[in-house]
Structure 1
Amino acid sequence: MALFDTIHTIGSTVYFVLAVLLAWLSRTPRTNPGAGFWALAIFLGFCGRIALLALGPITNSQSTEIIYAGIIALEKYFLLLGAFKFLNREHYSRPFSLFILAGVMWIVCYWLNIIDRIQFAVGYGIFNSSILLLFAIIAYRERHLVSHPILLATAIICFLFAGHWLTYPALHLYTGWAVPGFIIGTTLVLLLYLTLTSAVLMQFQKRLLDAEQNALDMAYHDPLTGLNNKRYMNTLFEQALVLAMRPHQLLALIYIDLDNFKPINDTAGHSVGDEVLKIIAKRLLDHTRSTDICARVGGDEFVVIATQLESAEHAKQIANKILEQCCADIIVDQHIYHLGASLGVSIYPSHGNDLTQLLQHADEAMYKVKKNGKSGFQVFAG
């Protein structure tokens, strides 16, 4: 009896700690609702162990076994309901509820003495085993949704736990099975809920990583076009200089100011104007190399930093290619829009040793194109 009490005391204590932890996690904003159901499930497991401590072993009393069986049936209900919520499989809830109802009716039949103790034990063991086996299958099939190792471990533990519940009739057939049976059961319950808690924490970690990535995207990328923003362009330019310092390597900064963009914004609306800018940004990415830097630095102003150039003539070829893409027809909502672009080009190290100088000189070259009728490019002449 002392060992029996020790097992349930340890089990109930750890169950309560896990219930509090999962309940606390479930209160965090935007936490998957499955955590709350699992908190309730393990709390019911705690209540079941308290009932055994208060009423004694289930083998000594039919009423004790009925109370314990009812509590554990509810625990299994919220356990699997939490899994459906956590893995976005709520459509399984209705047929599963009918299965739980059948389990409850089996307990009622035992209470009314319609079935004997051994029949009840066999049916109740199959009931719990089936629930855990279903959880194992779902966790294995959906293991990619959270963390492959954690949900795989959950599936394995549920599979082992399902097998253990099939030994439930042994509690009534062999008196010596009670202690090792509950030790094994307690261990499996703890492992199961530890993996579930880990799955919830893994989702927290994913949310933090996603939030960090979004913050970096907002800090370094233009939210409309996805191109680098002016702030990040400064950092990338320093990296590009490393390549430009190699022998016989040049770097060109191409400042792009779209022509005839404002009339599109004014007549067709800002939503159409945004689509036009997205199309231009995609064309810039598609017609530059992976080593080049594309950035949006203003409303309709872009910068391309072309790296690893062999000559100034190479920079002109790139500028001409960009000009062609900016002047090509743009179709938005079956309407054709005609743009142009004025491009100014400055070359490192001939026209400056830092980004500020190169931007200033490229901007001056671009304004000369504007004054001369727009839609062209010019290399800065110092």
Structure 2
Amino acid sequence: MTSPQTIIDNLAPVLTEIAATASQREQDREFSRDLAKQLSAGGFTKLRIPVEFGGLGFSLPEAFEVLVAVAAADSNIAQGLRPHFLAVESLLIAPDSEHRDKWLRKIAEEGVVIGNALTEVGNKPGELKTKIRKEDEVFVLTGTKFYSTGSLYADWIQVHAKDEADQDVFAFVDRDAAGVALVDDWDGFGQQLSASGTSFFDKVAVDPLDIATRDYTAPSAFQALAQSHHLSTLTGISQAITRDIVTYVQNRTRIFSHGSGDLPRFDPQVQQVVGEVKAKSYAVEKIFQGFAQELDLVVNKAKAGTATEAELAAVDLSAYQAQLAVAPLVLSQATQAFEVGGASAVSKKLSLDRHWRNARVLANHNPIIYRARLLGADALNGGHVAAQYTIGSLS
């Protein structure tokens, strides 16, 4: 059976290219579908798909080993491909159907990359303005989405809409279909290449076999799954910070007269900073690995239909605890790393600031302060239920 390390080794050439070009691609705002396709060709996009459908059949901890390696090379691409893995997970937990079989095989055998068009702006919480309607014998999709992560890397886009019965439906839409327009208008200071802009769908014809109905807010492990991918990307950023700061110090020859070493790498104070940064990376990795193993057990139970509501709620809370521990550690690393150099450490050529910016944006997803409140409320009073939350505006 193929191991995660085998896949990482197979992907080594493209991971090297991704890491080497990450800073320049961000400065040029270059979305490279070619890099995404190279990752797909190396097996990256079928890690979790069962072997019987042409995939690698990895467990969540095994898949995350590879995801973290990609995030360490470039967290933008890792975040941009997050919707692909969540689309796969939604298929894995779905009941057997022709839709499920078709898409698991299509992704595994054709190397299809999936993007995301789930979230809207200007809607009320729980409301979706994107609709699928049957016109004559054709299903037609119309609506506008924002935060369309991964859309510019994708071949197909998973779109969340409401059908005529006001049910939640998820449709796979060809990004090149008539009526689809993808706009790069995400203006965040971090994760700039996660392709999280606006998607327009104007009377796009959709094959009925590409549409699935799912109760979006039913208790499930999906919220924990969604957060696990943010955590894997943060873990990759943590590793990248350690890697880049070690390389920076090893190659640095400029010293200060009031320093404590002939070269920065021999300066005890610099060594201390590097040691502390590395220790935080160790802690991040171990926290995430432990959570991934816990999540894997619950997800497997959920797929088998044996997970209890208490187990789903518990893994939800574990995801929140991991976020509250990991995000501050990575942000601390990203700031502390600058202590080992002078003005040269802030050079745009080094682009060390991208680690803080990217980690800061990831930590802002689904605000962490609300995670802390939910944890505290459950610790004091119990009653947490694992449910997908909704976002919108009241006016």
Structure (1/2) with the larger helix percentage: 1
- Measured against the shorter chain, the TM-score band is under 0.3
Q: Report the TM-score when normalising by structure 1.
A: 0.24
State the structure with more CA Rg. Answer: 1
Q: Report the TM-score when normalising by structure 2.
A: 0.23
